[in-house]
């Protein structure tokens, strides 16, 4: 009987897949932190290619969607984190910010940050 039980556990572990799972809820466009992830063996079928934790050592990745705590992380759920920098040249003043240009006219430039806030920078230097 013990041998049957050991064989059953061995077969169960062969069919298990190693996946990367989140310890906490990960918000949309948050950067993935290796401390918030762990590897878990799951016996059920996963219908996506699982994300590799070693890739987090090479580059930063951000979430493409809201990831619930305890769910496996797939390649379709993450993307490489790319820093967009905006350089505004106003003649003798040059400003460099992280974000994207929303609009520009003769008086000011609107820049959207990653957190969603829009900053208005006037060309004459006023706030």
**pLDDT tens, position by position, 113-123:** 877 788 888 87
The CATH code of the domain at 2-80 is 3.90.1210.10
* pLDDT, tens digit (0-9, with 9 covering 90-100), for 35-90: 999 988 887 777 888 888 888 888 999 999 999 999 899 999 999 988 777 777 77
pLDDT confidence bin for 3, thresholds 50/70/90: low
Report the 10 Å Cβ neighbour count for 92: 6
pLDDT at 5: 57
Rounded Cα distance between 34 and 52, Å, is 11
Residues of the chain with CATH 3.90.1210.10: 2-80
Q: Are 51 and 78 in contact (CB under 8 A)?
A: yes
The CA radius of gyration of the chain, in Å to the nearest whole number, is 23
Which one-letter DSSP state was computed for residue 122? E
């Amino acid at each position: 009987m013990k041998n049957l039980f050991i064989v059953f556990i061995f077969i169960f572990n062969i069919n298990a897949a190693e996946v990367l799972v989140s310890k906490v809820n990960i918000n949309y466009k948050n950067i993935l932190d290796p401390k918030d992830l762990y590897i878990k063996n799951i016996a059920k079928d996963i219908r996506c290619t699982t994300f590799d934790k070693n890739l987090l050592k090479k580059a930063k990745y951000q979430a493409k969607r809201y990831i619930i705590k305890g769910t496996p992380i797939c390649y379709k759920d993450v993307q490489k984190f790319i820093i967009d920098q905006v350089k505004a040249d106003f003649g003798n003043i040059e400003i460099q910010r992280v974000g994207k240009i929303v609009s520009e006219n003769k008086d000011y430039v609107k820049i959207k940050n990653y957190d969603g806030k829009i900053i208005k920078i006037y060309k004459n230097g006023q706030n």
